[in-house]
Amino acid sequence: LATMQAAYTGGLAYWYLAIGGGGISLAIAISGWGVYRLRESRVLTINELLQKRYKSKNLRVFCGVICFISGIINSGIFPIVGGRFFVYFCGLPLEMHLLGITIPTTYFVTAILVLVALVFCFIGGQVSVIITDFIQGIIVMVMFIVVAVTTYRVVQWEHISKAYISQPNAIDLISPFGAADKNPFNIWFVLLGIVIYLYRIICWAPGQQHRQSATDAEEARKMYLLNFLRMGMGWGLLFFVPAACFAVMHLNGFSDL
């Protein structure tokens, strides 16, 4: 959702991030840069790798604590965003009254989301999480394809081009090489995004732990390549659909929609 919002606001200039980052990711996926050697080290976490590299268990514990705290904070964002989404999407009242206490409805819905996740974990353990996540992935990919095909049947590329060119700030919406103060998704944003792509190859804990579970280094490389192909389908949807929405919202020919 955040990527779609950015792609809608930033226009085609935001696409340069996907082109640059996608190219870098494809090269890494084929070559196995970083992924292959990390699996060969046979470490389970980056913290363990730091201990081996610098011969310091204290450093491993320190980095592990930082990783734990940042993970808790990061994971805490998702339920509250999900709860707020359901409140606004379903048109629920913003506040609810319980035993004389006024509680934001978002907190109540978020509590339900977290409770459902906990039930999954406690009843079926990690296996239930893996299986349900896999099923969810299949459903989402099918939905991605349906939404993409449906969107393209309604909005063609010529509509998107006409919508962006007709805007007074067309140059900023089309190219990241415009003035930095007028275009938030300028060339510096694109370059920083590519650096983050490189950084995340090894340092993003969830992805790193998935690949470290491979039987060997070659399988880890293939896992990364397959994941890149899966993400590539999502990227196409995340960037095309916001552009199509922009055309629908800015061309008179779509006023009925």
Q: What is the mean pLDDT of residues 65-78?
A: 87
- Report yes or no: 63 and 50 within 8 Å, Cβ to Cβ: yes
The answer for residues whose C-beta is within 8 angstroms of residue 154's C-beta and 6 or more apart is 244, 248, 257
pTM for the model stands at 0.71
Highest mean pLDDT out of 18-22, 175-179, 199-203, 253-257: 253-257
Q: What is the mean pLDDT of residues 44-63?
A: 93
CA distances from 39 to 42, 74, 151, 216, 228 (A): 5, 26, 41, 7, 18
Q: Is the pLDDT of residue 45 over 80?
A: yes
pLDDT digits 0-9 by tens, 225-235: 888 887 777 77
Q: Is the pLDDT of residue 148 over 80?
A: yes
Q: What is the pLDDT of residue 7?
A: 87
pLDDT digits 0-9 by tens, 59-69: 999 999 998 99
CA distances from 148 to 142, 162, 208, 236, 241 (A): 10, 20, 30, 8, 7
Tokens 């140059």 map to which residue? 171
Confidence class of residue 179 from pLDDT cuts 50, 70 and 90?
A: low
**Cα–Cα distance measured from residue 214 to residue 151, given in angstroms and rounded to the nearest whole number:** 37
Q: What is the mean pLDDT of residues 183-195?
A: 84
The mean pLDDT of the chain is: 87
Q: What is the mean pLDDT of residues 67-78?
A: 86
Q: Is the pLDDT of residue 1 over 80?
A: no
